[in-house]
Amino acid sequence: MNTDKAGDLMRWASRAAIAVASLLLAAKAYAWWSSGSIAMQGSFADSALDLAASLVTFVAVKTALEPADDTHRFGHGKAEALAGLFQAAIMSGSAMYLLLEAISRLWQPSAVAASELVIAVSSLAIVMTLFLVMFQSYVVKRTGSLAIAGDHLHYKGDLLLNLGVIVAAYASASGYMYADGIFGALISFYILWGAWSIAVPAVDMLMDKELSDDDREIIVNLALGNSLVMGIHDLKTRTSGRATFIQMHLEVSGKITVQEGHTISDEVEATVGEQFPAAEILIHIDPPTGRSADLTVNELKKYKD
């Protein structure tokens, strides 16, 4: 996808998330104040986190889309990973607070007031979140943005969370007073799971984790697919935001000229680039060991055939 178009999609996704979270936060605050529901409190807290996370995501996306400069030669893509860690941190803190509140409600159960309002607000949240999640899913598939993917993950979970609030309100209104505390605790565990799911890929990016074994195997096979490449070593890969960085040493005949070696490098770079279009590829040419080290280009083609 065109870089400018991908950036526009990421910006619109972050703006849409802020708008949805702001509206739902206001509605849930009123419903929680009117009902005293712990499950609704958890849903309100989650929406507050959604808004905070979406604001951070908006800033992270804006930063990540800035081009490389003299002080950030590899770009600003890791701003997305930093946003993910921030999201995970505030989600974890909120989940622990909600768990303590749920335990207190289980210890001293009470009925949920204004259950119809709780159900109505949660139903509104489900509808709005569903449309947001669908849009975010489209953006993630088109851009691969980690920041938008993190936002997408906990908004996707909000669908189940709000459904849980509806069930808790209905059960409490029907006389099952422990339901509110139980669902509040379940929601807190869900938020913790979401925080973990966001933190892991963020840490992987910040720690320059290698691409998957499958992707690395693809890179090796593409490089060795060139008839003049005798081997490959020191393959290093990492990601930074939407950008991928690939470095490798190609082994070619020691008899070829510098120009011929450069041409081979360009051919491999183009081939790998077709499979990884967002990658910055750096290739170093080395002579191999063994008989192939003394072959010319024409002899090398016959040797590999």
- Higher pLDDT, residue 144 or 231: 231
- Higher pLDDT, residue 42 or 190: 190
- Higher pLDDT, residue 146 or 221: 221
Across 178-190, average pLDDT: 76
- DSSP per-residue string spanning 175-192: T-THHHHHHHHHHHHHHH
Angle 258-275/213-224 helices, nearest 10 degrees?
A: 140
The pLDDT score that the predictor gives to residue 267 is 95
Give the pTM: 0.66
The pLDDT score that the predictor gives to residue 3 is 61
- Tens digit of each residue's pLDDT (9 = 90 or more) over 90-119: 778 777 877 887 787 777 765 555 457 767
Across 23-33, average pLDDT: 83
Say if residue 148's pLDDT is above 70.
Answer: yes
Across 19-28, average pLDDT: 86
Residues in the chain: 305
The pLDDT score that the predictor gives to residue 259 is 92
The pLDDT score that the predictor gives to residue 273 is 92
CA distance 256 to 229: 12
* Span(s) in the chain for CATH 1.20.1510.10: 3-206
Sequence-ordered strand ranges (E) for the chain: 231-240, 243-251, 279-286
Across 129-158, average pLDDT: 81
Across 5-21, average pLDDT: 85
* Span(s) in the chain for CATH 3.30.70.1350: 213-304
CB atoms closer than 10 angstroms to residue 73? 7
| β-strands 231-240, 243-251 pairing | antiparallel
User: Over pLDDT 70: what percentage of the chain?
Assistant: 83
Q: Which CATH superfamily is domain 3-206 in?
A: Cation efflux protein transmembrane domain (1.20.1510.10)
- Tens digit of each residue's pLDDT (9 = 90 or more) over 232-251: 888 999 988 778 899 999 99
Least confident residue range of 27-31, 35-39, 184-188, 268-272 = 35-39
Which distant-in-sequence residues (6+ apart) come within 8 Å of 58 by Cβ?
A: 11, 14, 15, 17, 18
Backbone angle region of 280, left / alpha / beta, with phi > 0 → left and psi within -120 to 50 → alpha: beta
pLDDT category of residue 29 using cuts at 50, 70 and 90: confident
User: Tell me, which fold does domain 213-304 have in CATH?
Assistant: Alpha-Beta Plaits (3.30.70)
CA distance 180 to 111: 8
- Higher pLDDT, residue 207 or 74: 207
Say if residue 218's pLDDT is above 90.
Answer: yes
Least confident residue range of 73-82, 107-116, 263-272 = 107-116
Say if residue 51's pLDDT is above 80.
Answer: yes
- 218 close to 253: Cβ distance less than 8 angstroms: no
Q: Which of 236, 224, 302, 298 is nearest to 268 (CA)?
A: 224
